[in-house]
Structure 1
Amino acid sequence: MSQYSGKIVFFEGKCFTGRRLEVFGDCDNFQDRGFMNRVNSIRVESGAWVCFDHPDFKGQQYMLEKGEYPDFQRWNGHNDHMGSCKPIKMHGEQYRMELFEGQNFTGQCVELCDDCPFLQSTGFSKNCLNSIKVYGDGAWAMYEEPNYRGRMYIVERGNYCAFTEWQSENPNIQSIRRVVNYF
């Protein structure tokens, strides 16, 4: 198994019943594999995954770590739609990111190396995060509300010049945590 692979199994029915789809890497469209976009339970056998409610890695994001999710409420889903998924790429154990108030890495900057349940507690004056640089080895989950709640976005190593680059519709981020569940 490669460093970025894992295994996730999607089920049409609740409590792991009905038709199933096993995925071991990026899957940009469940329908291309003969599986409808209706998912009511999920079993993550290894790795950490980001799943999307639309094909082509679009729409609402859900982070799923190793474990069982017998119904869509367990992954904070609003319905049973799921269209694509991919493993979260993690390279090691070093986490570091820089957060910027303005687009293109301008304005106030704060560095994080650990989880942060409330971004303003770091001295970041606003809850508007417009650009970020992700360094190190790991992926991060960013949330629109404090204490890791609300809409979530996964970011991995790289530069994000604007909030639209992590598929957000607005720059509101209030909590951030490391993705640490490997296999």
Structure 2
Amino acid sequence: KIQVVLYEEEEFCGRSQEMCVTLAIYLFVCSSWVIYEEPGFQGRQLLLEEGEFPRPSAWGGYSGRLGSIRPICCVSSTFHNHLLSSTRVVPEHYLEGCRWVAYEEANFCGEQYILERGLYRSHLDWGGSDPSIGSVRPVFLVRLPMTMKLHFI
């Protein structure tokens, strides 16, 4: 079981809400979460890796608004990472097993886009506002103990 505790105010103050996710640890690995600015996994995305974040600026929060949150997990037996790009203006990316974070600008700066397993025929498929990507990095996945608390604000 993985747990996230969300607090209403900075510095772990105010009302809190706990969210739990139960995983079969032998099948899945999970150490990161994607937060969305809007409910229903819509709007701007931000990757949160394990840790405590006492205020939105600590996790690179753009507005402090949290509309929805979900874990990033992948099947541990398929840790084969493929990133294929074509010579077209709009690249196609096929991702198998691992998740990637694409950044709008070079040096891992700017808007973040979480790229998961699948085929992306255009930037609209990953939520991008234009087809250019400045940098990409894999989401590093680690085995977790059966119970772990992650605190995201």
Q: Same fold (TM over 0.5)?
A: yes
1:134 is matched with 95
TM-score, normalization by structure 1: 0.67
Paired with 1:71 and 1:12, the residues of 2 have a C-alpha distance of 10
Shift of residue 7, structure 1, vs aligned partner: 2.4
Q: Are 2:31 and 2:73, in contact at CA under 8 Å, matched by a contact in 1?
A: no
Q: Are 1:89 and 1:156, in contact at CA under 8 Å, matched by a contact in 2?
A: no
TM-score, normalization by structure 2: 0.79
State the SS of the aligned residue for 2:52.
strand
Q: Are 1:49 and 1:63, in contact at CA under 8 Å, matched by a contact in 2?
A: yes
* Alignment RMSD: 1.7
2:10 is matched with 14
Structure 1 counterpart of 2:127, which letter?
Q
Q: Are 1:65 and 1:181, in contact at CA under 8 Å, matched by a contact in 2?
A: no
Structure 2 counterpart of 1:87, which letter?
P
1:94 is matched with 80
State the SS of the aligned residue for 1:68.
coil
1:24 is matched with 20
Q: Are 1:66 and 1:181, in contact at CA under 8 Å, matched by a contact in 2?
A: no
State the SS of the aligned residue for 1:56.
coil
Shift of residue 152, structure 1, vs aligned partner: 0.3
Matched, 1:80 2:81: no
State the SS of the aligned residue for 1:154.
strand
State the SS of the aligned residue for 1:98.
coil
Shift of residue 158, structure 1, vs aligned partner: 0.9
Structure 1's consecutive aligned runs of 4 or more residues displaced over 3 angstroms after TM superposition are none
Paired with 1:100 and 1:23, the residues of 2 have a C-alpha distance of 40
Percent sequence identity is 31
